[in-house]
A and B are shown apart, each in its own frame.
Chain A
Amino acid sequence: MRALSKLTLLLAKLYMRDPIAVFFTLLFAPLLVVLLGLVFGNDPDPIFGGRGYLETNLPAYAAIVIGIVGLLIVPINTVSRRKTGALRRFRVTPLRPLTYIAADALVYFVMGVLGIVLLFLVGTVGFGIQPQGSIGEVFLAASVGAFAFLAVGYVLAGIAPTVQVAQVIGNVPLFPMLIFSGATAPLEVMPERVQSVARLFPLTQVVTLMRGIWLGEVWSSHLTETVILVGLCLVGVAVASWLFRWE
C-alpha cells in the first residue's frame, strides 16, 4: 500500500513537470472551448435540435482529453520508461507489476478527469452552460471512456518498440478521430458518408455517450456506446497485460 501511494504521488508530480503533457491534458481542451465558444457562440441552431453549439458540444471536448491521454501520453511515457531502462530498474525491487500499472493508470485517469473538470468549468463559468443530466453520471460516462482509452494506450505501449513508433501509432488513429468523431467539430455538420464511417470510431462512442448523458438522456438509450466502451476496456486490459514488458 505504501509503495502504491508513494508511487502514485510521485508519478503525478512527474506528470505535472512535463509541460507538453500538462498542456494537452489540462489546457488544450479548455482553450478550444474558449476559442470555438467565441467563434460559434451558443445561439439556438436547428442543426442541434434547437440547442446552441456550445451547449451540445461542450461534453464532446472531454473526448479530446481522453483521446490524447490514452492514445498519446500513455504509450509515449510507458515506452520511454521501458526504453530508457527505468522500468527495468523497478524490476529488481519487490515492486509488483500490478502496483506499478495501477499507480500509473490512476495518475492518467485523475489528470484526465482534472482536464475535463477544467473544461466544464470554462463552459459553465465563461459561457453559462449547465448539464441537463446529473453531473455524477456525466463523470461516470467520462470514466467509462477514459478507462477504455487507457487500456488501448497500454496495448499500443506494448506493441510499440520505440518512442517514435509509439508517437506514430498513437497519432494515426487519434487525428482522424479528433476531427471526425464530433470531438472538435460536431458530427452533424459532416457529410452523411463521413458520418456513417465516423460513427464506428471508438472516440465517437465517447462523444455520443458524453453528449447524451450531459443532455439528460437515459443510459438505456446509450447501451451500444456503453457496451462498446466497456468491451474495449476489457479486451484492452487483457491484451495489454499479455503484451506488457518491463524491457
Chain B
Amino acid sequence: MQFEKGVVPKMITANELRKSYGDTVAVDGASFEVFEGEIFGMVGPNGAGKTTIIECLEGLRLPDSGRIRVLGLDPSKDRYELCERIGVQLQSAALPERIKVGEALELFASFYRRSVDWRLLLERMGMGEKSGAFVSELSGGQRQRVFIALALVNDPDLVFMDELTTGLDPQSRRSMWDMVRDVRERGKTVVLTTHFMEEAERLCDRVAVVDQGRVVALDTVGNLISSLGAENRVVFSVDGRPDLAGITAVPGVVRAEQIGDRVIISVRGSGIIGRVTTALEEDGVGFRDLRVEKPTLEDVFLSLTGKEIRE
C-alpha cells in the first residue's frame, strides 16, 4: 500500500528494541515503523510486550537497547518536547480522586503550549453534558471517553491508545471505533493495541502481530490474511449423508467433510464458489444455509503464535 513506498513521512521508527524486567524479557528485538496518517495496530497475547513497547515510545520506560525516534525525537532525551506533541491513553490510567470531568480537561489543557477548546472536544465525544460529573461516577465507556479526550486536548500529531476497548460492551466498543476513525480523519496518526481481532481488522491500516516481545508479522490485514494462504470454507446444512466424492473432485476443493448435518468444504483459489454450488446441484445434494467463511486475522494470529487470543 502507499505506506510502504516511502513517500509518506515516518512518525515512528523503532529498531531492535529490547527491554527486560529482571529475568523477564518483555521486548526482545522489536523493529517497526509507523507512517503519518495511518492507524497502526499491535495485536498479541497477554504479556506479549505491547504495553512495554508503546510505553518505550512514549518515554515512560527506558529500553535496555535499541533505537527509537518518535516525531524525530528521542523519547528518553526529549521527553517534554515529545509530550507536547503526542496524546496518550494508558492501559491503566487514573485521575486524582474527587475530580470532575471538566476540571480534568481544563487542568490537562493548561499543561501544554497549545491546546484545543476542551468543551468542544467533550461535545464531540458525546460527553458535553458530563462536564460537571465526577470522573469516579462515570460508566466504563464514559471514563474511557474522558481519557481519550485528555489524549486529544493538546491537538497531538500522534496518538497512542493502549487497549482502548478492553472491558467495554460491544456497543461502546463500536462507538470507540468511530471515534478513532474520526481522530484519523483529523489528520492524526494512531498507534493502538488490542486483544480484539475484529477491532484490528476493522480499524487498522496495518497490524503488527507481537509475540514474546517480537514483531512476528507486520502488514495490512488483507495481506496478512492472504499471506497465510489459508483456505476459504463453504459451509452448509444437509439432510442425511449425501455422497461428497463428486465435490472433492472439483478443482480447487481441498477437502470436504460432514459433521452432523453440517458440511464443510475447504477451497482455495478464485471463482471456486460457483463451481462448488454447480457441482452440488448436479450431484443432487440438497443444501441449505450456504455461506462462505473467509479466514480472519484470528486465523493468522493462531498460525503465527500458536495461541488463541485471550481477553
Chain A residues with a Cβ under 8 A of chain B: 2-3, 6-7, 10-11, 13-14, 17-18, 80-81, 84-86, 88-96
A84 interface neighbour in B86, B94, B110, B154, Cβ under 8 Å: B94
Contact B90 A6 (CB under 8 A): no
Contact A86 B96 (CB under 8 A): yes
A89 interface neighbour in B95, B97, B113, Cβ under 8 Å: B95
Contact A92 B95 (CB under 8 A): no
Question: Which one of B4-12, B13-21, B32-40, B100-108 is at the A interface?
Answer: B100-108
Q: Is B157 in the interface zone, CB < 8 Å from A?
A: no
- Smallest CB–CB gap between A27 and chain B, Å? 18
- Smallest CB–CB gap between B34 and chain A, Å? 17
Which A residues are in CB contact (< 8 Å) with B2?
A: none
Q: Is B99 in the interface zone, CB < 8 Å from A?
A: yes
- Smallest CB–CB gap between A81 and chain B, Å? 6
Which A residues are in CB contact (< 8 Å) with B150?
A: 89
Contact code string B60-93 (vs A, CB < 8 Å = 1, else 0): 1000000000000000000010011010101011
Which A residues are in CB contact (< 8 Å) with B93?
A: 85, 88-89
A7-B107, A89-B94 known; 16 new pairs, CB 8 Å cut-off, are A6-B106, A14-B98, A18-B98, A80-B97, A84-B97, A85-B94, A88-B60, A88-B90, A89-B95, A91-B60, A92-B59, A92-B60, A92-B88, A94-B80, A94-B84, A94-B111
Q: Is B58 in the interface zone, CB < 8 Å from A?
A: yes
A17 interface neighbour in B58, B83, B98, Cβ under 8 Å: B98
Which B residues are in CB contact (< 8 Å) with A10?
A: 99, 103, 107
Check A3/B94 contact, CB under 8 A, given A92-B60, A93-B83. Answer: no
Check A94/B112 contact, CB under 8 A, given A18-B97, A85-B92, A89-B94. Answer: yes
Which A residues are in CB contact (< 8 Å) with B86?
A: 92
Contact A14 B99 (CB under 8 A): yes
Contact A3 B110 (CB under 8 A): yes
CA–CA, A81 and B96, complex, Å: 6
Which B residues are in CB contact (< 8 Å) with A96?
A: 80
**Shortest 10 CB-CB distances between A and B: which pairs?**
A84-B94, A6-B110, A92-B88, A85-B94, A17-B98, A93-B111, A86-B94, A94-B83, A95-B111, A94-B80
Which A residues are in CB contact (< 8 Å) with B107?
A: 6-7, 10
11 chain-A/chain-B pairs, Cβ below 8 angstroms = A2-B110, A6-B110, A7-B107, A11-B96, A14-B97, A84-B97, A86-B97, A88-B94, A89-B95, A91-B60, A95-B111
CA–CA, A220 and B205, complex, Å: 74
Contact B96 A92 (CB under 8 A): no
Residue with the greatest number of chain B CB neighbours at <10 A, chosen from A10, A89, A92: A92
CA–CA, A125 and B49, complex, Å: 64
Check A93/B112 contact, CB under 8 A, given A86-B95, A88-B60. Answer: yes
CA–CA, A150 and B72, complex, Å: 41
Which B residues are in CB contact (< 8 Å) with A91?
A: 60
CA–CA, A85 and B80, complex, Å: 19
B111 interface neighbour in A3, A11, A80, A81, Cβ under 8 Å: A3
CA–CA, A95 and B150, complex, Å: 14
Which A residues are in CB contact (< 8 Å) with B112?
A: 93-94
Which A residues are in CB contact (< 8 Å) with B99?
A: 10, 14
- Smallest CB–CB gap between B175 and chain A, Å? 23
Query: Taking CB as reference atom, which chain B residue is nearest A5?
Result: B110
A92 interface neighbour in B90, B94, B110, Cβ under 8 Å: B90
CA–CA, A246 and B90, complex, Å: 14
Which B residues are in CB contact (< 8 Å) with A95?
A: 111
- Smallest CB–CB gap between B172 and chain A, Å? 21
Contact A93 B108 (CB under 8 A): yes
- Smallest CB–CB gap between B234 and chain A, Å? 49
- Smallest CB–CB gap between B244 and chain A, Å? 57
CA–CA, A91 and B75, complex, Å: 13
- Smallest CB–CB gap between B191 and chain A, Å? 13
Contact code string B99-138 (vs A, CB < 8 Å = 1, else 0): 1000100111011110000000000000000000000000
- Smallest CB–CB gap between A6 and chain B, Å? 4
For window 238-264 of B, CB contacts with A under 8 Å fall at none
- Smallest CB–CB gap between A119 and chain B, Å? 25
Which A residues are in CB contact (< 8 Å) with B98?
A: 14, 17-18
Which B residues are in CB contact (< 8 Å) with A13?
A: 103
- Smallest CB–CB gap between B78 and chain A, Å? 11
CA–CA, A89 and B94, complex, Å: 7
- Smallest CB–CB gap between B245 and chain A, Å? 62
CA–CA, A186 and B78, complex, Å: 55
Residue with the greatest number of chain A CB neighbours at <10 A, chosen from B96, B103, B113: B96
CA–CA, A129 and B60, complex, Å: 55
- Smallest CB–CB gap between A244 and chain B, Å? 16
CA–CA, A61 and B144, complex, Å: 45
- Smallest CB–CB gap between A25 and chain B, Å? 15
